[in-house]
Chains A and B, each alone.
Chain A
């Protein structure tokens, strides 16, 4: 393969590279994803998976109606997901809009729980570059440790890969030490071929994570499209030796589904990716289902939604 600098030298070579990536056969991909989803995860392996999944949750609230109070309770939940079981790990991060990032940072200081902030005119990404970068700056100055940006899907779909690439680069620079997650919005890119190209484009531009979706577009994360992203980071690792992460977001609501994703992580990317530094779930309601299932595993009986906190 050509050196990475050659690939990104200009838009023409970037386009050649992305269009030269092997295609994704949808039937085969979906068959593989469905096959792996039949793995039977029980007993000790299920308990481990639940704790692992909890530690990978980016506990998210991204609503127009978000308030300081809402974010505070969410942060409390993130620190200590199940007050009756102090050994339950804290989640990976809390994910909020930039204007609430500072509040979350204060709430989570010293807990090890990260603060992720969406930025770049999330979710549509339809704003001037300067506005997007200002959005990023807001998040970073507030102390966010992770920035979740959206790509310009319009530019991507019209074949303007150079523009998308440059924008990711600029955002990456603006992030400073904050980790950059690049949201591809695969539901709008529509094809698996596009999902693969967008993953590579983001990785080439410096993404620390590739993320499927904003959660505002249907379909959001699916198992097959997450396979594509996992394969991309595995291929990137084989090529460069660098470890980059994957975050499916949207629509992952229960333990059973989350475990299927973990199986995909283990068997498509590899065991190395079973790590909150390299895999996250963008989710809001998933955490409580994980906690309920965890109680079922440890108590030996199901207790119901009234026994976990609603925040």
Chain B
């Protein structure tokens, strides 16, 4: 007789987040009220208002850029690398010390499961600061010539999918290379960036080195188009990335863009099937599929397609969807009503265009923005669900017959951010990886991140690299 055994709710205590009712922007070392209209950040899992957040107006952008310029000219730029490193190491340690608080806050504000914010987002954010702190006094040896100079003031705009981690990706290399920063967090997820600002203040970082200005897209546009900045770094949609590139054309300001993706996860018939299934699940359901490098297109060799699909459905059926604060939740809430509407619109296009839809039978919470994991099979390259970035827990499955066909289909996209290759055959990994037009190629794994590994895209997925020695180039005058 098998026994009924359900997991009891295991919610993390939300008080750990030390949530405040109001958050203010961080400008020139002070927390100040912005002149913008303000915003309310909500918990996407419950739709409750978490906090009022003051936002920047264009005048605040001017002030922040001026403060960043002053700090760069007078303090941070001239400071020896070894001294800068001390501040960055201190920030890294403080993130690690407050990791539990940051993880719970991130989950409240973003909707991602606590196990991901706790085990992935926050530790990786700290790791980026640790890694780049180590570079600060070794830039002479980074391969960019002796004594490479910083660019100046960096304007950085980040998305809502990994709020603190994206801030770390942007800020850590900028500071290590001697630049100062004005960063705009996403409208729906500003809270952890503002706690990060507290950390900067407590670490004694000189005023103006880091400025955090919450706001909507108009403030992002104001910031990246500001004549006082030397460098723009943007992570977000391809559409906005193109606008930014148009704005900056001819200005001589440096730009790096990390945009959308429609990554192929290629499963060859000689793959380690069970681990490939794990990799497919991790590739598309990690962070509810709100991942620019998500493996949203599964390309599976026809000879093993039925086996893989069968196992995939069993596995997906066991994913636990619900309260993001529950330590056993695998898939949390969609970040916003707007994103949920987009996912719904694209999935219904998949049905209309004739793909076979399978949706996990898992129960969904009554409140909040949730979307059950969904797999489309019988997908052809011409369908929207095979071409457009859904940015949600929706997988499109296509099949192929030969390795050449796999490569051709994988590359048949205007994007080119990441790709996955699953085979037990080493030579096939190398053969396929050489042919992938993607900035990151994972072999027998997916969605693995490390500050030492450069990350970035081809074509409409953007340009420039973040992380590793290569990533320093984007913040040095070389």
A residues lining the B interface (CB < 8 Å):
22-25, 27-29, 31-32, 38-46, 48-49, 52, 231, 238, 262, 266-267, 270-275, 277-278
The 9 A-B pairs with the shortest beta carbon distances in the complex, nearest first, are A28-B275, A40-B10, A45-B8, A275-B2, A25-B272, A40-B327, A22-B273, A25-B275, A23-B424
Asked whether A41 and B310 contact (CB < 8 A) given A28-B444, A273-B2, the answer is: no
Residue contact B10 to A28, C-beta cutoff 8 Å: no
> Which A residue's beta carbon lies closest to that of B269?
A22
CB-contact partner of A27 in B3, B5, B115, B444, under 8 A: B444
Nearest neighbor of A243 in chain B, beta-carbon distance: B2
Q: How far, in angstroms, from A39 to B330 measured CA to CA in the complex? A: 10
Residue pairs across A and B with Cβ atoms less than 8 A apart, 17 shown, are A22-B270, A22-B272, A25-B272, A28-B272, A29-B275, A38-B119, A39-B7, A41-B7, A41-B10, A43-B8, A44-B8, A45-B6, A45-B8, A52-B3, A52-B5, A266-B5, A275-B3
A144-B274 Cα distance, complex, nearest whole Å: 36
Q: Is the interface of B mostly helix, strand, loop or mixed?
A: loop
Please give, as numbers and ranges, the residues of chain B lying within 8 Å of A45 by CB-CB distance. Answer: 5-8
Q: Give Cα distance in the complex from A274 to B318, angstroms.
A: 15
Query: Which of under 10, 10 to 19, 20 to 34, or 35 or more describes the interface residues of B?
Result: 20 to 34
Q: Which chain B residues in 1-58 approach chain A with CB under 8 Å?
A: 1-8, 10
The docked-state distance in angstroms from the alpha carbon of A277 to that of B3 is 11
Nearest A-chain residue to B307, judged by Cβ: A22
B445 part of interface (Cβ distance < 8 Å): yes
Q: Please give the distance in Å from A223's CB to the nearest CB on chain B.
A: 14
Q: Is the CB of A38 within 8 A of B327?
A: yes
With both chains docked as a complex, state the minimum distance between the C-beta of A196 and any C-beta of chain B, in angstroms.
9
User: Whole-angstrom distance between the alpha carbons of A274 and B7 in the complex?
Assistant: 13
The residue of chain B having its C-beta at the shortest distance from the C-beta of A231 within the complex is B274
Return chain B residues, CB-CB under 8 Å to A32: 275, 278
Is B279 part of the binding interface, using a Cβ–Cβ cutoff of 8 Å?
Answer: yes
- Closest chain B CB from A111 CB (angstroms): 17
Most buried by A among B2, B8, B270: B2
Contact of B274 among A24, A27, A44, A49 (CB under 8 A): A24
B424 partner residues in chain A, CB cutoff 8 A: 22-23, 25
Q: Are A38 and B8 in contact (CB under 8 A)?
A: no
User: Contact check: which of A28, A31, A274 meets B2 at CB < 8 Å?
Assistant: A274
CA distance A81 to B350 in the complex (A): 57
CB pair B10 A49 closer than 8 Å? no
Residues in B with CB closer than 8 Å to A273 are 2
Whether A38 touches B5, Cβ cut-off 8 Å, given contacts A22-B272, A24-B274, A32-B275, is: no
Q: Which residues of A contact B310 (CB under 8 A)?
A: 238
B180 interface contact, C-beta 8 A? no
A24/B5 in contact, CB under 8 A = no
A216 to nearest B CB, angstroms?
A: 29
Which A residues are in CB contact (< 8 Å) with B3? Answer: 48, 52, 274-275
